[in-house]
A and B are shown apart, each in its own frame.
Chain A
């Protein structure tokens, strides 16, 4: 470990956590002229945007496997491509094979998806199934348009700093006015639709649009991904629409890989940050945030080193930031109670596989293209809901819902040097609750891994025999490895009770939290989780505004 020599005058901002949001915030703050230090507990940067070595010369996305929602403005502003970021976007977004046969395929081009649904109609022969598939083909185009239309407003909402409602200033009034105008810009029909659909269950949203259960499920999945919710939970429509906001998401959602794995994104961000003067230290664990008279004054490291700073910016989740790093007296009992009630029910597991050769998916035939996007095994709305049911009672799903990718197909560099034919499969598996009732996860870890492989086996017979390495990361592992409270990949459940003006807490959604000059810049802040860089970018803007005012 290298000791940090504060520059003359000390640090303006110290960022806790070198995840993608922490790095984004640091880069923007340094660009704005702040002397900025990033402290990362692990040896590697990136947090949950991490590439891990599963076996010798076999690299796998450790947690997040796609990075397509990263804000284009961040890519431009920080010139990430010149720092080594290279993105690959396959033309297929989702391939959702059904264990009973057949598959739903969502392409980057909505027209192509619609044509595919038509083709399925032709396969269905004459009769009711055929005409309903024909209706779905048209409905898909309309639905895609609608998601994009509403998504434009939600994207603006995501870029805005939630206005101050307690003591609004002119900026807040202007921000509210701008949001109001873009809300009106949706048109009469759009505004009414938005207000009606936001609190809906995603199952109802897709149920109103489509008749085919498999198609409904393929689209609805993004409403429940990473959440302790099922498709019938109210508010999951918001999650789906937000996921489609901003980048070219639409009804299919994005599927974009970083060449070299998601860790490469962290490297590019770190490169960009260093280029503007940010100092980054790894293996530097922050154990406390110091404060005086209600204002943050710096941080303390595990080895006792104290680092004073004008502003402390935490990329950790809000619960951990407030309850683990702050002095409870400084936090106060009321905010302490509220912080303790921030919901972080992790239910997502990650299973990473190395296979000896590319498995054959029955519904894909020889069309390898189909396997380049996200492979979704969520055969129906009820099947997803049943998988969720288990988690409510502290059990893992016997037939979990899976979102798998085979990143080595689009990016062979991940398996360079490995035995020829080797591929890596990265699987997000739900539902695996953080705490099992009456059981220890250590006794069930492999059983859950088996359940995941078994589900894969149902659409890709023989896959089990091809597996050479397997890694099962459970919510407690995610907590241990990445510091995610409750193992929740989004830092705090993405639900209507932890949204916009009240993410993570009402009165504390403007990145400033608990103390003067203490800020949140991670997924627990508006606009929430996913590899977007949004919270980091927004938070940096606020820190700069405050520090310039001083």
Chain B
């Protein structure tokens, strides 16, 4: 007789584990099934080279919901987030303000940089060097964004209503939101509307004139999306940078001790402590559906496991197209699922270094290497990187977001050595056929990334011991993320809130009874946030109580 659980969670990524922890905490007999030998999905730490451990895919964290940390008591289970201080934007020789030139008009000197740190006063002083106006605007802008973040934050933990439904109850949480919107000043309201509709570039241009500042700030609007900094709809993501900051408990950005896998492991331990069972190397082949309801899963090994409910933390294409027997779904729903856009656009290059690289504009080791290093010298280069991707090419001169985790967590590499994590935008999943496949392009792409960094830190190539390149195809192969989209589907306006993942099905339920979604494909989207897993679990528990009462 097959085993039976109250709930099975497909996928042991951070969201799946969060769901499992909440379900187990509520007393449900819960099983997590992970296809790989490690937990974490895209939030994993692996020893790619002997002695060098990497957050292979994701790399920083800021959005992990404080209520999850609290409710699951994650610090007790080993969660430790180390603050990441500031963003350093190096420029090339001759760039910056004022750009020194020799008698023939050729650039001289080592170039400038733009360095923002968590110390507001210091950042403002640094900005004043560039533009008095920008330095003034920076404080005003920061305050406005904090106000906005405070206003928007409740959205992250509500279940999106269906605007087409005649039932007014799900709209109730929106009422509170509308009331708090009405309490904003007219200007704040106007800025909120702009955040939801504008491009990051246009939005920031209202305050700032310093180009490297605009380039670096707008970069956070495009991470993981197939959009440029001038694409409408990218301003919203800027807000996320301010979400963590206002919650006292947390620093804006941090890296988890032991890599992003450290988060997954802590959540996994919390789930296990609450009684959830976790199995790795257990690949689900099919979700069993009978009579319109999910009744369990079949593993690739042929093993059948029954369950009262199945929660899928994998993306919608995997869930509905790959795991559900063809012909089960309502054709209209299936059309909508197939229409959901993935369009992975990011790559990752993981480097093991013999020693730290030295930047021309600020040589040697120092504090500037301890935060994020943003290769975003100009808005024009950022936009051109996107233009490459639009036509199916990886960016010849990509935007790269680098961190050197070993400077805050030396345990990741042998003594004296370092690792460098390079997040790269853009690497479109669909390459122009004339370029061949990603397998033909992997190392060329890796070279482009290293060369890009070497424009600013010429000694980097000589410091590299090992290199690991993750293309969108590799991300898809390893983690199962369709088209390598790190957010389980594009975070474009038409795929958010009540339209995520399918209009009318944004409430974690699916047309198959007892099959639920709990991954980044649902509201409020991707990033190491855990909100999706938590709301899904709470929604499931609520519906069970409702059903219990009805019975």
Contacts and interface: CB of A to CB of B under 8 A. Distances in A.
Given A192-B163, A192-B504, A507 B232 contact: no
Contacts of A338: 187, 190
A520 interface: no
B227 interface: yes
A502 B232 contact: no
Contacts of B177: none
A158 B503 CA distance: 25
B164 A506 contact: no
A234 B494 CA distance: 9
Contact of A166 (B186, B197, B387, B494): B186
A199 interface: yes
A496 B492 CA distance: 14
B341 A195 contact: no
A195 B499 contact: yes
Contacts of B147: none
Contacts of B190: 338, 502, 505-507
Interface string A141-177: 0000000000000000000000001100000000000
Given A192-B503, A496-B232, A506-B189, A341 B383 contact: no
A393 B383 CA distance: 9
A392 B197 contact: no
Interface-centre pick from B189, B339, B493 (highest chain A CB count, 10 A): B493
A505 B206 CA distance: 14
Interface in B142-192: 162-164, 182, 186-187, 189-190
B233 interface: yes
B246 interface: no
Contact of A233 (B164, B187, B231): B231
Contacts of B206: 337, 341
Interface in B378-413: 380, 383, 387, 390-391
A229 B228 CA distance: 12
A393 B492 CA distance: 24
Given A234-B231, A382-B391, A195 B503 contact: yes
- Interface-centre pick from B182, B227, B231, B339 (highest chain A CB count, 10 A): B231
A497 B189 contact: no
A343 B187 contact: no
B164 A393 contact: no
Interface string B487-525: 000001110001100011000000000000000000000
Interface in B228-249: 230-233
A191 interface: yes
Given A204-B341, A343-B202, A199 B503 contact: no
Contacts of A196: 494, 499, 503
A497 B499 contact: no
B485 to A, nearest CB: 15
A497 B232 contact: yes
Contact of A234 (B163, B186, B202, B493): B493
A199 B235 CA distance: 14
A443 B332 CA distance: 56
Nearest to B499: A196
Contact of A229 (B232, B387, B390): B232
A234 B492 contact: yes
A510 B495 CA distance: 30
B358 interface: no
Contacts of B383: 392-393
Contacts, number: 89
A197 B380 contact: no
Contacts of A198: 494
Contacts of B380: 393
Chain A interface size band reads 35 or more
B197 to A, nearest CB: 4
B12 to A, nearest CB: 31
A544 interface: no
Interface string A491-516: 00001110101100111000000000
Contact of B189 (A189, A392, A496, A507): A507
A442 interface: no
Contacts of A385: 390
Contacts of B72: none
Interface in A310-341: 334, 337-338, 341
B194 interface: yes
Given A188-B504, A507-B190, A496 B197 contact: yes
B10 interface: no
Interface in B194-248: 194, 197-198, 202, 206, 227, 230-233
Given A233-B231, A341-B206, A389-B387, A191 B164 contact: yes
B193 interface: yes
Nearest to A166: B186
A507 B186 contact: yes
A87 interface: no
Contact of B230 (A188, A392, A497): A392
Contacts of B164: 188-189, 191-192
A340 to B, nearest CB: 9
Contacts of B186: 166, 506-507
Interface string A377-393: 00000100110010011
B502 to A, nearest CB: 9
A334 B494 contact: no
A506 B187 CA distance: 8
B492 A193 contact: no
A174 to B, nearest CB: 18
Contacts of A505: 190
A232 to B, nearest CB: 6
A475 interface: no
Given A392-B230, A497-B194, A191 B163 contact: yes
B494 A193 contact: no
B504 A199 contact: no
A334 B187 contact: yes
Contacts of A165: 182
A200 interface: yes
Contacts of B197: 199, 235, 495-497, 499
Contacts of B233: 199, 234-235, 496
Given A199-B493, A234-B493, A392-B230, 7 more contacts: A189-B164, A196-B503, A337-B206, A338-B187, A389-B387, A495-B197, A502-B193
6 contacts: A195-B503, A196-B494, A233-B232, A337-B206, A338-B190, A507-B190
Interface of A: 165-166, 188-189, 191-193, 195-200, 204, 208, 229, 232-235, 334, 337-338, 341, 343, 382, 385-386, 389, 392-393, 495-497, 499, 501-502, 505-507
